[in-house]
Amino acid sequence: MAGILDKFRLDGKVAWITGASYGLGLAYAVAFAEAGAKKIIFNDINQELVDRGMAAYKERGIDATGYVCDVTNEEQVNALVQDATDKFGGIDILVNNAGIIKRIPMIEMEKKQWDQVLNVDLTGPFLCSKAVLPQMIERRSGKIINACSMMSELGRETVSAYAAAKGGLKMLTKNICSEYGQYNIQCNAIGPGYIATPQTAPLREKQADGSMHPFDRFIRSKTPAQRWGETEDLEGLAVFLASPASDFINGQVVYIDGGILAYIGQDPSQLDASKFQDEATREDVVVADK
């Protein structure tokens, strides 16, 4: 008799995680494979990154196929979905993970820079979701998971384009739910807090004198857990949202932030920095050996 934990399995599923050569995308893919996914598909914008990703998956014994595909290029997106469907029978789970950020004061941001961020972070998920939805509708089953953010709820200096995109992605999540939930398709979002990945490495770099980056001190003072998240922290939620266990959850952004959104924060100057002094700055993501 199937037990409750079987509801969290992904046996026989084909999962496409965009931008998953490293970072959170790689962590999601590794977790999906461990939960039983039969095929991991990922893409990145150049062959070098795809090769890097393939090496990472091979090292972990994961059956992955990598594509050179820019999520802002509709022709490349549609070609990936067609090839993956021809070869692997279709895509059951889409994680719209690929994303960029540009930290520039808004009045100094050029339109081209704004457009780049909105294109990758919001139009990309639109194009990738639009490409997989027809087969999910036909199959009467599908999971779409979007990469939202603290900036889906909060603003901060220098991230206007990113916040606009991630706020829009929250509403795109709700709209895909609204329009396609009738076909047993669930579209939810993961809302990570501040996670140690290459994207946030500049915010954690030690200062020349070896002291904490001011933003590192700031974000720890805003986080009850007083730490940055690790990719491992997000794996369980990703598997949950990709699995039958979440079939009646739709249109939700699930925040996994160590408590940031619940907490007014403490005075950063009151933080006992000595507790964290020996923590190395994680330049890249090390997905725990499985």
| Closest to ligand NAP by CB, 45 or 144 | 45
Q: Is 255 a catalytic residue?
A: no
Contacts of 166 (CB under 8 A, 6+ apart): 121, 148, 149, 151, 152
Q: Which residues of 184-196 are buried (b: 16+ CB within 10 A; e: fewer)?
A: ebbbbbbbbbbbb
Q: How far apart are CA 166 and CA 254, in angstroms?
A: 14
Q: Kindly report the number of other CB atoms within 10 A of residue 278's CB atom.
A: 6
Q: Does residue 258 belong to the site contacting ligand GCO (CB under 6 A)?
A: no
Angstrom distances, CA of residue 102 to CA of 35, 173, 179, 207, 263: 34, 23, 31, 21, 26
Rule CB under 6 A: choose which of 66, 99, 167, 258 binds ligand NAP. Answer: 99
Kindly tell me which of 44 and 121 has the beta carbon lying closer to ligand GCO.
121
Q: Does 159 bind ligand GCO (CB under 6 A)?
A: yes
**Interface with ligand NAP, residue 194, by CB under 6 A:** yes
Instruction: Decide whether 26 or 136 has the Cβ nearer to ligand NAP.
Output: 26
Q: Which does 237 bind (CB under 5 to 8 A by kind): ligand GCO, ligand NAP, none?
A: none
**Per CB under 6 A, 180 contacts ligand GCO:** no
Catalogue the E-assigned strands of the chain.
Answer: 14-18, 39-44, 64-68, 93-96, 142-147, 185-192, 253-256
Query: How near is the Cβ of 260 to ligand GCO at its closest, in Å?
Result: 8
Given the rule CB under 6 A, which of 64-72, 136-144, 208-216, 259-267 is the region that contacts ligand NAP?
64-72
Given the complex with ligand NAP, which of 74 and 183 has the nearer CB atom? 74
Encoded amino acid at 210, one letter:
G
The candidate with the shortest Cα–Cα distance to 188, out of 230, 135, 125, 139, is: 125
> Footprint of ligand NAP on this chain (CB under 6 A)?
18-19, 21-25, 43-45, 49, 70-72, 97-100, 120, 147, 149, 192, 194-195, 197-200
Active-site residue numbers? 162
